[in-house]
Structure 1
């Protein structure tokens, strides 16, 4: 079936599985929840500090590294869909423009997709909004993973 084609219940088919998008949203929300670094080099045992550093946005944050790695390891088509979803979710386009936005994302694709996407602090919201615009939802995924 052609990518972007409307399938059952008015849903637009994506090249990236919905579960992957939902996992990326989940990880992006974890990253968004991080607080500013209050003590860059505490020098003590994390357990002595009640592991508070895990809640701060350090440059070597494992959540950030996991999200970047996950996006980098997606196929080109999956990366293109993610960029298109982000653009759609930030209301640069309407759901009727899916084929156009996906085509423009394909034209803009490069090797920095993960850094580009992870550089947007509202990535999770944009992806979630775009899924909703295309009649998809992460509700089932969230119920199974929370």
Structure 2
């Protein structure tokens, strides 16, 4: 299988997705509020740092051709197990049916996107090892 999207681009997306998935704990404590009484059990987590990374991922995806975004979505589906590597053509067809902005939104909404893309690459005996910051 030959990718339309450069492997370096996919690897850069994986790096940024890992950053987006990471949570940063806040150091600010509210003396008036008992953390155990908080309505949201994750209220001690700070997502501000992740917003800029998400914007960078969105910009990266926006800069790609529609066929490349669809290819990345199909790769994530293979990594998730929705499709097998032998069903690559079917995965690409469904990704094409999803459409441009819909594909981007699906990618951004995927939990563990970096791992899914890694697994998708591995299904085709590809890896980001030695490319950029991934070892």
TM-score tier, shorter chain, comes to: 0.7 to 0.9
- 1:72, 1:113 within 8 Å by CA — same for their partners in 2? no
Give 1:48-127 correspondences, 5 Å limit.
56-58=46-48, 61-127=51-117
Distance 2:100 2:6 in 1: 21
Give the count of matched residue pairs. Answer: 118
Task: Say which structure is richer in helix.
Answer: 2
Would you say 1:145 and 2:130 are equivalent positions? no
**How far is the alpha carbon of 1:110 from its aligned partner?**
3.3
- 1:80, 1:105 within 8 Å by CA — same for their partners in 2? yes
Distance 1:60 1:90 in 2: 23
Task: Give me the CA root mean square deviation.
Answer: 2.1
- Unmatched tracts of structure 1, length 5 or more: 1-11, 40-54
Partner residue, 1:7: none
Give the TM-score, by structure 2 length. Answer: 0.78
